[in-house]
């Protein structure tokens, strides 16, 4: 027995460096993570303790985040979109928001059509620890029942554990690159900037971009079963909480509009129309038309620059007035 | 399941704790062996559930073959036929999985069959064959029970990349009781830590440099390719020796003693010496079951040289379904023959020179092992000999070879530790034991140094072991 205790004691002692690194990785993410993390962190905190008393949320991915300037749209709007997220992450973000703060009155959902087909940043979701262990397991379990090859791929459970434990194998490289605390100032400034802009974040700052966006790579609307499941779950969650919903689309640039496969666009529109029909008793408006803006309004191939965001926000504001969105 | 994975960090303690509990509560070995079989099949099937069927088939074939050889077939000609049949069945299976894909590709081109190569197949088939061979030779009796045998043939520490254990050495250990032993477990853990050090601190970093040089071999100078190939010699040693060391340490924790697979091969002063120190379990397997039955050195020099060539060509074929491996094997045999031919001259060389020559010859052959095809190997060798560009020695910064300053210095420090560890091993035979015998402050300094170096290297990312593909 004495030897067994000695072995356990020595194993604990030898694990101290590991524990120290895990604790540092857990405690100082804003100090060593890249600026991309800040947006996730801001949304994570906002969903648990909102920065403003918003009654209208902009929900979606980077297209939503970079297209709508909440301050110029209407009073009481906050943009909780996250670049790189899919409806999977956004469902949990909204659920947490509602659980902690109660439901908003209105929500505007904007997801890039390709995000209904690809989960391209799940590793980043894990890396940023945006979802709790329970939420991850729920998504993983659901993914097992779908055609998913990302969320529930072989070895994912161990990866999830590695991220949750903040193992050095996952975080040490970044901690080293940042000199452990080297990114703190920049990250805090970005955090404040996002809050000041009520959740809006510019993704590309170029004065124009004529490259093609992600959608052009899809020849048809090959939607991902898991994403669609969560997209509809998100819509149901909002409806269950009496939230008035508008599903609308952010514009794409001319270069992409010309290159997008008609079958893809047709399939996307058909899906949304069908969703609108299936949920026709919800207080929900579904708009599937994808506006097209000149290339000069794009900061990169996928995102509006600030000038583009101003134009889109202005057009959306008028449109919302026209459809009586603010009336309840 | 990889030794360097989170899964294994959970798997091993669970297996060990349950194993010791079962040993302490039951007088019989059976429950503990059943637990080991379960753990081993889980370990093996973790990557692909289909792997388990093949392992089970190999286990059944060799177990019943051994049983028949000992208890049923008594006539020597029939015994021989049964042995040949078993060997054909197992090596045929191995050949099928290794070569069918290649043959199909040669015949059908793009329509070739896609055949899954089960990891570790070369290792456990060779290990299981030792059981049949030894029973045939009469040097051992069949396993006391099928459970013991199945535990032997599927033993997870050696399953994927060896060491290829001999049945007379490992099998009886499944019929012994292994109780908790602090000193043994500590020794095993030190060995495992050293194995992880070899893999994570050294091999993973060396791989980055080697891959960068070989991926750009057309643009690299002869000097850079020479350095890259020398580094590959070190990489493959660190990579493979790490697996063997972790396997030996893992088995030691559970109470099993495995064969040493590497004995400081780069301290060898001749190619034949090197092959007695490198992948010892495979080379001794070929020596005992191929070279000696072929006549060994008992039938004259010419026959001896032919036997060496046969053995090393087979060893090349065992490694992979590619002509590059066969050339590597033939070169390895050829260098030994040439060495014998000039043994008179060699005897006048100082030892350090012989060590250097041995390393360079090994590196020359290993170029074929690393290359994607013969064309690449020939280009690399051609550039080293005709386009060395001595000026590039001065212009090639070591920090430009894929590792930044931090990781490069880490690598250098690691290589120094490797040298010290190997020197101690060369002199005493047991560096891990020497560490365990140090005073507490020294011992713990070494422990923390190892752990910190390993943790500091984990950011490079887990990589598969090179020998998995064999």
**Contact check, Cβ <8 Å, A10/B186:** yes
Quote the tokens at residue B266.
């780069």
Residues A84-95 as b/e (b if ≥16 CB within 10 A, e otherwise) read bbbbbbbbbbbb
Q: Does the residue B337 lie in any domain?
A: no
Task: For domain A2-322, give the fold.
Answer: Rossmann fold (3.40.50)
Q: Say yes or no to pLDDT of B400 above 90.
A: no
Q: Which residue of B has its CA nearest to A18?
A: B455
Contact assignment for B6 to A167 by CB distance below 8 Å:
yes
> CB count, 10 Å around CB of B450?
19
pLDDT digits (tens, 9 = 90+) for B302-339: 999 999 999 999 999 988 878 899 999 999 999 999 99
What are the chain B neighbours of A20 within 8 Å (beta carbons)? none
Lowest mean pLDDT among A162-171, B176-185, B390-399, B430-439: B390-399
Tens digits of per-residue pLDDT, A60-105? 999 999 999 999 999 999 999 999 999 999 999 999 999 999 999 9
**Reading across the β-sheet that carries A106-110, which strands appear in turn?**
A77-79, A56-60, A106-110, A244-247, A284-286
Of B143, B165, B180, the residue that ends a domain is B180
What residues of A are in contact with residue B181 (Cβ under 8 Å)?
3
Choose among A168, A169, A172: nearest Cβ to B462: A169
In this complex, the residue of B7, B186, B459 whose CB is nearest that of residue A173 is: B459
The reply to whether residue A4 touches residue B182, judged by beta carbons under 8 angstroms, is: yes
- In this predicted structure, the answer to whether residue B113 has a pLDDT above a threshold of 70 is no
Q: Outline where chain A has alpha helix (H).
A: 2-14, 16-27, 29-32, 35-48, 62-67, 70-73, 87-101, 122-127, 133-144, 156-164, 168-177, 184-196, 225-240, 254-259, 262-278, 306-322
Residue B433 clears pLDDT 90, i.e. is over it: no
B273 is a domain residue: no
B399 pLDDT higher than 80: no
- The pLDDT of residue B461 is 63
For the segment B364-389, what is each residue's pLDDT rounded down to a tens digit? Answer: 999 999 998 899 999 999 999 988 78
CA distance A286 to A108: 10
- Do residues B56 and B150 both lie within one domain? yes
Query: Do the Cβ atoms of B99 and B112 come closer than 8 Å?
Result: no
Residue B71: pLDDT band by 50, 70, 90 thresholds?
confident
Contact A14 B451 (CB under 8 A): yes
Which residues in chain A are closer than 8 Å to B252, comparing Cβ atoms? none
Q: Please tell me whether residues B198 and B227 are part of one structural domain.
A: yes
Taking an 8 Å cut-off on Cβ atoms, the answer to whether B458 and A172 are in contact is: yes
How close is the nearest chain A Cα to the Cα of B1, in Å? Answer: 9
Q: What's the gap in Å between the CA of B50 and the closest CA on chain A?
A: 15
The C-alpha atoms of residue B411 and residue A275 are separated, in whole angstroms, by: 57
* Contact assignment for A167 to B456 by CB distance below 8 Å: no
Residues B166 and B56 grouped into a single domain: yes
Q: What is the spatial distance between Cα A192 and Cα A181, in angstroms, rounded to a whole number?
A: 18
Q: Which residues of A touch B452 (CB under 8 A)?
A: 17
Write the pLDDT tens digit of every residue in A251-260.
Answer: 999 999 999 9
- Kindly state the average pLDDT of the residues B270-293: 94
The reply to whether B46 and B122 lie within a common domain is: yes
A48: confidence class by pLDDT, cuts 50, 70, 90: very high
| Contact present, B183 and B157 (Cβ < 8 Å) | no
Task: Determine the pLDDT at residue B462.
Answer: 60
Residue B431 confidence (pLDDT):
84
pLDDT average, residue stretch A22-41 = 95
What integer is the mean pLDDT of B270-296? 94
Give the span between the Cα atoms of A300 and A256, in whole angstroms. Answer: 11
pLDDT at B306: 94
Mean pLDDT of chain B: 90
pLDDT at B389: 80
Q: By the 8 A CB rule, do B157 and B247 touch?
A: yes
* Terminal-residue alpha carbon distance, chain A: 71
Q: Which residue has the tokens 């000999």?
A: B385
B193 falls within a domain: yes
CA of A189, closest CA in chain B: separation in Å? Answer: 28
Residue B112 is predicted with a pLDDT of 63
Give the mean model confidence (pLDDT) for residues B176-197: 92
At B205-243, the pLDDT tens digits run: 999 999 999 998 998 889 899 999 999 999 999 999 999
Does B194 share its domain with B164?
A: no
Inform me whether the C-beta atom of residue A292 falls under 8 Å from chain B C-beta atoms: no
pTM (2 d.p.): 0.82
Nearest CB to B455; choose among A4, A18, A155: A18
Look up the domain containing B435 and give its range: 184-258+372-469
- Identify whether residues B27 and B119 lie together within a single domain: yes
- CB of A155 within 8 Å of a chain B CB? The answer is yes
Name the percent of chain A lying above pLDDT 90: 83
- Domain for residue B333, yes or no? no
Taking the CA of residue A283 and the nearest CA in chain B, the distance in Å comes to: 47
Do residues B1 and B463 lie in contact, with contact meaning Cβ atoms separated by under 8 Å? no
B122 in the same domain as B241: no
B450/B202 Cα distance (integer angstroms): 12
B429: pLDDT confidence band, cut at 50, 70 and 90?
A: confident
> CB A10 to CB B462 under 8 A?
no
Identify the weakest region by mean pLDDT among A170-174, B291-295, B370-374, B456-460: B456-460
pLDDT surpasses 80 at B105: no
pLDDT greater at residue B390 or residue B261: B261
ipTM reported for the complex, 2 dp: 0.73
* Residue from B455, B462, B463 whose CB has the most chain A CBs within 10 Å, to mutate: B455
Whether B149 maps to a domain, the answer reads yes
Asked, for residue B353, whether it belongs to a domain, the answer is: no
Residues B417, B464, single domain; the answer is yes
pLDDT in tens, A133-147: 999 999 999 999 998
Q: What CA–CA distance (Å, rounded) separates B240 from B193?
A: 15
Query: Residues of B with CB below 8 A from A155's CB?
Result: 5, 7
Task: Give me the pLDDT at residue B107, please.
Answer: 75
Q: What is the largest CA-CA distance in chain A?
A: 79
- Is residue B362 in a domain? no
pLDDT tens digit sequence for B452-464: 888 878 767 666 6
Residue B470 confidence (pLDDT) above 70:
no
Residues B82 and B165 reside in one and the same domain: yes
Asked if B455 and A10 come within 8 Å (Cβ–Cβ), the reply is no
- Interface residues of B toward A, Cβ cutoff 8 Å, are 5-7, 47, 180-182, 185-186, 406, 444, 447-448, 451-452, 455-456, 458-462
Query: Which residue's entry shows tokens 């603010």?
Result: A326
* Count of beta carbons in the 10 Å neighbourhood of residue B415: 16
B459, B460, B461: which to substitute to probe chain A, counting the most A Cβ within 10 Å?
B459
Whole-angstrom distance, CA of residue A221 vs CA of residue A117: 7
Distance from CA of B167 to the nearest CA of A (A): 32
**Does residue B282 lie within any of the structural domains?**
no
Mean pLDDT of the region B355-372: 94
DSSP string, B193-230: HHHHIIIIIIIHHHHHHHHHHHHTTTTS-HHHHHHHHH
Contact at 8 Å (CB) between B465 and B239?
yes
Q: Which ranges of B270-322 does DSSP label H, i.e. alpha helix? A: 271-277, 280-286, 301-319
Residue of B nearest to A157 (CA): B7
Q: Helices A168-177 and A16-27, interaxial angle, to 10°?
A: 60
Name the residue in chain B with its Cα closest to that of A7. Answer: B182
- For chains A and B, count residue pairs whose Cβ atoms are closer than 8 Å: 49
The total number of structural domains that make up chain B: 2
Q: Does pLDDT of B101 surpass 80? A: no
- Residue numbers of A between 163 and 222 with CB closer than 8 Å to B: 167-169, 171-173, 176
Grade residue B351 by pLDDT with cuts at 50, 70 and 90. very high
Same domain, B125 and B235: no
- Asked if A162 lies within 8 A of B6 by C-beta distance, the reply is yes
Question: Hey, are the CB atoms on B186 and A169 less than 8 Å from each other?
Answer: no
Query: A281 in helix, strand or coil?
Result: coil
- Residues B158-182, mean pLDDT to the nearest whole number: 92
Cβ distance B455 to A4 less than 8 Å, yes or no, reads no
Residue B1, pLDDT score: 83
Q: Which residues from B are below 8 Å from A167, CB to CB?
A: 6, 458
Mean pLDDT of chain A: 94
Last residue of a domain, one of B131, B162, B180: B180
């Amino acid at each position: 027995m004495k030897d067994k205790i000695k072995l356990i004691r020595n194993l604990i002692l030898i694990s101290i460096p590991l524990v120290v690194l895990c604790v540092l990785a857990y405690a100082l993410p804003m100090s060593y993570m890249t600026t991309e993390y800040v947006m996730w962190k801001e949304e994570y905190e906002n969903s648990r303790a909102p920065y403003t008393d918003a009654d209208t949320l902009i929900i979606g991915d980077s297209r939503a985040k970079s297209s709508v300037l909440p301050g110029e749209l209407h009073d009481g709007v906050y943009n909780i979109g996250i670049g790189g997220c899919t409806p999977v992450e956004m469902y949990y973000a909204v659920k947490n928001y509602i659980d902690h703060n109660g439901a908003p009155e209105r929500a505007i959902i904007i997801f890039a059509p390709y995000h209904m087909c690809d989960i391209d940043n799940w590793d980043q979701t894990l890396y940023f620890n945006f979802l709790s262990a329970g939420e991850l397991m729920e998504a993983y379990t659901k993914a097992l029942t779908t055609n998913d090859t990302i969320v529930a791929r072989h070895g994912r459970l161990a990866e999830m554990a590695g991220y949750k434990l903040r193992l050095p194998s996952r975080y040490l490289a970044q901690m080293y690159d940042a000199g452990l605390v080297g990114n703190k100032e920049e990250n805090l400034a970005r955090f404040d900037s996002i809050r000041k802009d009520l959740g809006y974040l510019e993704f590309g700052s170029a004065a124009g971009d004529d490259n093609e966006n992600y959608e052009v790579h899809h020849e048809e609307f090959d939607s991902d079963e898991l994403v669609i499941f969560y997209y509809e779950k998100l819509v149901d969650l909002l409806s269950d909480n009496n939230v008035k919903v508008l599903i609308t689309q952010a514009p794409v640039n001319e270069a992409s509009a010309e290159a997008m496969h008609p079958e893809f666009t047709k399939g996307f529109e058909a899906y949304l129309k069908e969703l609108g029909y299936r949920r026709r008793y919800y207080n929900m408006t579904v708009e599937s038309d994808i506006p097209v803006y000149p290339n000069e309004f794009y900061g990169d191939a996928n995102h509006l620059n600030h000038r583009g965001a101003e134009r889109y926000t202005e057009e959306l504001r008028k449109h919302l007035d026209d459809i009586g969105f603010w009336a309840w | 399941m990889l030794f360097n994975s989170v899964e294994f960090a959970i798997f091993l303690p669970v297996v060990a704790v349950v194993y010791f509990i079962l040993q302490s509560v039951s007088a019989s070995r059976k429950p503990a062996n059943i637990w080991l079989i379960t753990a081993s099949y889980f370990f093996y099937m973790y990557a692909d559930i289909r792997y388990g069927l093949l392992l089970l088939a190999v286990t059944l074939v060799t177990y019943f073959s051994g049983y028949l050889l000992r208890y049923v077939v008594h006539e020597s000609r029939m015994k021989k036929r049964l042995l040949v049949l078993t060997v054909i069945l197992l090596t045929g299976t191995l050949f099928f999985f290794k070569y069918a894909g290649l043959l199909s590709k040669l015949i059908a081109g793009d329509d070739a069959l896609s055949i899954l190569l089960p990891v570790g197949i070369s290792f456990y088939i060779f290990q299981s064959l030792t059981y049949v061979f030894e029973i045939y030779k009469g040097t051992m009796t069949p396993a006391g029970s099928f459970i013991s045998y199945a535990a032997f043939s599927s033993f997870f520490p050696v399953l994927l990349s060896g060491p290829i254990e001999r049945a007379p050495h490992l099998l009886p250990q499944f019929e012994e009781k292994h109780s908790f032993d602090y000193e043994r477990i500590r020794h095993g853990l030190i060995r495992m830590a050293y194995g992880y050090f070899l893999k994570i601190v050294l091999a993973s970093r060396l791989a980055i440099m080697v891959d960068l040089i070989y991926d750009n071999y057309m643009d690299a100078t002869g000097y850079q390719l020479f350095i890259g190939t020398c580094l590959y010699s070190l990489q493959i040693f660190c990579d493979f020796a790490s697996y063997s060391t972790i396997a030996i340490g893992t088995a030691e924790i559970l109470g099993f003693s495995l064969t040493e697979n590497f004995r400081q091969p780069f301290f060898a002063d001749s190619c034949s010496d090197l092959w007695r120190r490198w992948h010892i379990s495979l080379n001794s397997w070929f020596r005992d079951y191929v070279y000696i039955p072929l006549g060994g050195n008992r039938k004259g020099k010419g026959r001896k040289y032919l036997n060496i060539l046969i053995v090393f060509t087979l060893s090349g074929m065992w490694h992979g379904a590619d002509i590059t491996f066969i050339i590597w094997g033939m070169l390895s045999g050829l260098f030994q023959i040439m060495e014998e031919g000039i043994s008179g001259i060699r005897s006048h060389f100082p030892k350090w020179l012989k060590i250097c020559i041995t390393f360079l010859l090994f590196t020359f052959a290993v170029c074929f092992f690393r290359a994607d095809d013969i064309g690449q190997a020939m280009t690399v060798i051609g550039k080293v000999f005709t386009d060395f560009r001595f000026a590039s020695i001065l212009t090639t910064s070591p920090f430009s070879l894929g590792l930044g300053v931090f990781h490069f210095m880490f690598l250098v420090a690691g290589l120094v530790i490797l040298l010290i560890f190997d020197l101690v091993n060369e002199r005493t035979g047991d560096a891990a034991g020497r560490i365990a015998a140090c005073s507490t402050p020294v011992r713990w300094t070494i422990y923390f140094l190892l752990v910190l170096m390993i943790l500091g290297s984990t950011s490079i990312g887990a990589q598969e072991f090179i020998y998995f593909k064999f």
